[in-house]
Structure 1
């Protein structure tokens, strides 16, 4: 579920679905079937097929060989295969922060207040400075929830938390 929270939180993922396709691949002379857990469709046209596995099961010799064949299959189709563990998905405080920000996301999709302030790409400010510029902490939290602004999701929000404008690479960093 935490992986889906990340997908919902990512601003540039246009759509995602569960167990989207089943593929056939060859390994050790035997034909195998595989169904990824999720497919992420990015706004720029990228397509990721995602497998979520416990860390102790991901790096076994059997899965290394299996995932190499699966990666090759998806790459030949112009897609990317990504295997994630609970350690990557739920790093430190991030999972709780993402869930909190999703709850704080405004229901309207109107323009955000920060856009009118002339912030340049990746201009950085502290949470306190951003709150002064945007008219209060709630406005900053809403801009973070919309992913107009970003911060280190691994730490709780404090007055000193560094806040900057969103870049597409910020969404990729949620997963890899």
Structure 2
């Protein structure tokens, strides 16, 4: 919580900023997170400020993430993330080699297709939980849900 204070230039002046949170991932990545009401986050002044802050963190190798109540309180996403987090296998470092080979020549497939290729619903769910796979978490996960290999940009929607 409020991990550091940085100095950045915006509007021709030096300013100070303290992010709300820092997330340190096991793989060494760091995210600095700001939480703001949507009405304040999207003002012209704050858009300019957050763009400069994002440039600062990009330059240091970290990621800046702005979250509003839309991201934090989305009813389907919140339920989906809680469910997936409960399904992370005890050895979360384990990767399923069959997942990458199943997607070798495909951008995506349905949940039902992935379940058939991997042999069980649980393996697809664990792939989503371990961040090997990704899908739209704003909708319930069903047989027709499009599943794809995980991309780094999927982290924002999945784990925060």
Encode CA deviations 1:53-104: one digit per residue, 9 max, x unaligned.
1112323466456546645654665655432211133345112111110111
**In 2: Cα distance, 1:68 partner to 1:124 partner:** 32
**In 2: Cα distance, 1:123 partner to 1:66 partner:** 36
What's the offset of the Cα at 1:21? Answer: 0.3
Give the conservation status (yes or no) of the 8 Å contact 1:91–1:154. Answer: yes
In the superposition, relative to structure 1, how do residues 121 and 53 fare at CA in structure 2: closer, same or farther (>3 Å)?
farther
Find out whether 1:89 has 2:72 as its counterpart: yes
- TM-score normalised according to structure 2 size: 0.71
Alignment root-mean-square deviation, CA: 3.6
Equivalent residues, number: 158
Encode CA deviations 1:100-131: one digit per residue, 9 max, x unaligned.
10111111133326337543165422211211
Q: Spell out the pairing of 1:27-106 with structure 2 (5 A cutoff).
A: 33-40=16-23, 47-60=30-43, 63-64=46-47, 67=50, 70-71=53-54, 74=57, 79-106=62-89
More moved, 122-131 vs 154-163: 122-131
Residue 158 of structure 1 corresponds to which residue in structure 2? Answer: 142
Residue 136 of structure 1 corresponds to which residue in structure 2? Answer: 120
- TM-score normalised according to structure 1 size: 0.66
Relative contact order, higher structure (CA 8 A, sep 6+): 1
Give the conservation status (yes or no) of the 8 Å contact 2:99–2:118. Answer: no
**In 1: Cα distance, 2:100 partner to 2:50 partner:** 46
In the superposition, relative to structure 1, how do residues 154 and 114 fare at CA in structure 2: closer, same or farther (>3 Å)?
farther
**In 2: Cα distance, 1:77 partner to 1:166 partner:** 24
Which structure 2 residue ranges, 5 or more long, are not aligned? none
